[in-house]
A and B are shown apart, each in its own frame.
Chain A
């Protein structure tokens, strides 16, 4: 089948402003949109830029806005679209070229939550003990591939006045450590999250959960962080 892709184009080195360019590609209904983009780049227009790597939703490179919804081009099949698909870069972030955005802002937020296990006691000779139930608490959170679809879709992050909100991706990683029974820094972590741009920045709008390519219950996990903060201040 023939599919049309209307793609956002912008090269700050030569374009005064962004524009849209439409390409026609012959595609199999089972092809990924990423296959179509590759075909455009390889056969029609090698100046088109976007990131890609594993091609099956593990590396998290090819996040973009597809018909207005953030997702991975390698997880979307041609058969699920009508004849024209609108492809734009992720919102919230600055466009570097075409579909490539600058994620340094996103990564700064991510780094700020101390995304690593903090322990104070010496580790045992073998593994630390953790029950399957304790592990299950944060099992969904470790599926996160840092694609930034959630943060890009969040109305709080999209609003200039509240853009300093840490965003759902950083909160998912914070949740992952806060709820890991091996971590020994919950006070420190709670202090990092207990402010208006931390967990309280979330207004429970569910957009992050809707777009997560790994089906992580993002909003629910942010809610559990809030509950944990509340409980730390109001011990039973």
Chain B
């Protein structure tokens, strides 16, 4: 079947829905999502959204600007960061006006809490900057934006899986989707397409990411000849519930919790004397794993304790209800009385599809943009997070750049005619899927995926070195070969998840290779990318963005300079 829209948005998390809300009622917009919209991974965000509102104490956008740039280890593009932090208060008030149920201060304002790396007066001490709704901020914002979409009758293609981006000449003109419920193929023609498909945490064995975070949008762009930027920068959140990897929000430390090792020491005092447990995530993750390496993990194992027992039951239930319920359900522990076992868990991709500050996708390191294609949210790299993202800056990124993409798309669709996309592409995709379904072969999805996940965990996580990264590349390339021989047992048309997971695995293997190659080439340590064989930051050689291109001879790396407008690189100490 063929459908025509002005704008097609792929992904129904916060970036996609924020863009949809901007366009709703003014132009013909449709949202495609492989899960029902409110099941999107943005909903799992717990802690909050940063904005220097100053509701709890003095704060300024310049401080937020500095913290974000320092957090990024000076790799963020400062023009983009400035846009984001200046727009933050507007983005928050707008959500509040839409109905987001923020927690409140005693005088009725939006409440704010501490979060890692957010400080007053350029690094002096922690500042309360994160606006929150208890510990389910992402979920209530997702619900509110979805409800706004319903109100404005946005068309949803729910449980539709995007198979391909369609180009006509030098324009993107739509997508081909596969309806999971019926097995039908759709061609959605559009004047503009927004990729808002989120991250790819499921490449790793231990992750806070949902099962849907498989990086489809990143890989679809890469396959279409679009480079991927800064993919070596993957963030491990320090406090994943051990051993499951479920997120325990930084809000737990923002509300006063702290980490302890086997000896009961508050070890962050040694690693970050100024802000202690509220240092940036890469710093805390490395500290935890250093404690473990040196034998101070709990019971000699690979985790430490997050101690909330001094906060008291009342505060925990009021501010951290969800987290307390996870700990109770999955570990049988009450955090008011017992410390929580935690270990780093893969959480967020700083890199992604390169875009300008209005979501337009760049096709090269010179900044040339392609018509009709946009990206926003975790799958995009603007870049506002550089080498490490600070907590609560992600939701801000989604809201600010989701909206800006929406505005830019509306401008573009007013000016252009829909490109003539023939239905031939639909037939080609149908044939490809049929071939995959009918292929005879000896490989299965699950063992290959497990091997990929452990390879990425072993060679490309918090600590890296050349030998490991090379081994990882070898391993992933052999998996890519075996993937060619994959065969499916489920030939059905209705909710055939084996088929979807097989396609996802192809994307994941592509992205694994890009991450490893980007990491191998960056012979320095910066933010979340820590090389044991090159442990210092090397601004002289690597103050630049990695761009990886797909070529017939394999991935090719080029570089793009960083935009520095206000803060010159200096040592990053917390």
Q: Which A residues are CB-close (under 8 A) to B144?
A: 116-117
Please determine whether A43 and B147 come into contact, CB atoms closer than 8 angstroms. Answer: no
Are A42 and B446 also in contact (CB < 8 A) when A53-B212, A131-B104 are? yes
Residue of A52, A123, A145, A176 touching B97 (CB-CB under 8 A) = A123
Query: Hey, what's the 0/1 contact readout for A97-134 against B, CB within 8 Å counting as 1?
Result: 11010010000000100111101000101111111101
Q: Which residues, 22 to 51 on A, are CB-close (under 8 Å) to B?
A: 30, 32, 41-43, 46-47, 49, 51
Please choose the segment from B362-370, B399-407, B491-499, B533-541 that sits at the chain A interface, where 4 or more of its residues have CB less than 8 A away.
B491-499
Query: Hey, what's the 0/1 contact readout for B89-107 against A, CB within 8 Å counting as 1?
Result: 0001100111101111110
Residue of A nearest to B489 (CB): A46
Please determine whether A130 and B147 come into contact, CB atoms closer than 8 angstroms. Answer: no
CB distance from A19 to the nearest CB of B (A): 16
Are A54 and B210 also in contact (CB < 8 A) when A97-B494, A115-B147 are? yes
Are A129 and B498 also in contact (CB < 8 A) when A13-B493, A47-B492 are? no
Residue of A nearest to B94 (CB): A123
Please determine whether A59 and B101 come into contact, CB atoms closer than 8 angstroms. Answer: no
Distance, CA A117 to CA B495, complexed state (A): 35
By size class, the interface of chain B is 35 or more
Q: Which A residues are CB-close (under 8 A) to B181?
A: 96
CB distance from B401 to the nearest CB of A (A): 22
Q: Does A142 contact B (CB under 8 A)?
A: yes
Please determine whether A61 and B36 come into contact, CB atoms closer than 8 angstroms. Answer: yes
Please determine whether B495 and A96 come into contact, CB atoms closer than 8 angstroms. Answer: yes
CB distance from A214 to the nearest CB of B (A): 8
Are A116 and B147 also in contact (CB < 8 A) when A43-B446, A128-B96, A130-B104 are? yes
Query: Hey, what's the 0/1 contact readout for B16-55 against A, CB within 8 Å counting as 1?
Result: 0000000000000000000110111101100000000100
Q: Does B390 contact A (CB under 8 A)?
A: no
Q: Which B residues are CB-close (under 8 A) to A57?
A: 325-326, 329
Number of interface residues of A (CB under 8 A): 58
Q: Does B246 contact A (CB under 8 A)?
A: yes
Residue of B35, B139, B325 touching A53 (CB-CB under 8 A) = B35
Q: Does B330 contact A (CB under 8 A)?
A: yes
Please determine whether A47 and B139 come into contact, CB atoms closer than 8 angstroms. Answer: no
CB distance from B472 to the nearest CB of A (A): 23
Q: Does B439 contact A (CB under 8 A)?
A: no
Q: Does B169 contact A (CB under 8 A)?
A: no
Query: Hey, what's the 0/1 contact readout for A179-214 against B, CB within 8 Å counting as 1?
Result: 010110000000000000000000000000000000
Please determine whether A53 and B39 come into contact, CB atoms closer than 8 angstroms. Answer: yes
Q: Does A146 contact B (CB under 8 A)?
A: yes
Please determine whether A58 and B101 come into contact, CB atoms closer than 8 angstroms. Answer: no
Q: Which B residues are CB-close (under 8 A) to A145?
A: 38, 43, 139
User: Can you report 26 residue pairs joining A to B where beta carbons are below 8 Å apart?
Assistant: A11-B494, A41-B498, A46-B498, A47-B498, A49-B495, A53-B212, A54-B39, A54-B41, A58-B44, A59-B39, A60-B38, A61-B35, A77-B330, A96-B494, A96-B495, A98-B495, A100-B495, A115-B150, A127-B96, A127-B102, A127-B110, A131-B108, A132-B105, A132-B106, A143-B136, A177-B99
A interface residues with partner B (beta carbon < 8 Å): 11-13, 30, 32, 41-43, 46-47, 49, 51-61, 75, 77, 96-98, 100, 103, 111, 114-117, 119, 123, 125-132, 134-135, 138-139, 142-143, 145-146, 176-177, 180, 182-183, 215
Given A49-B496, A126-B109, A138-B101: 13 more A-B contacts, CB < 8 Å: A43-B446, A46-B489, A46-B490, A58-B136, A59-B38, A61-B36, A127-B109, A128-B97, A129-B109, A130-B108, A132-B103, A135-B101, A177-B99
Q: When A and B form their complex, which 4 residue pairs have the shortest distance between CB atoms, in order from nearest? A: A117-B99, A129-B108, A46-B498, A49-B495
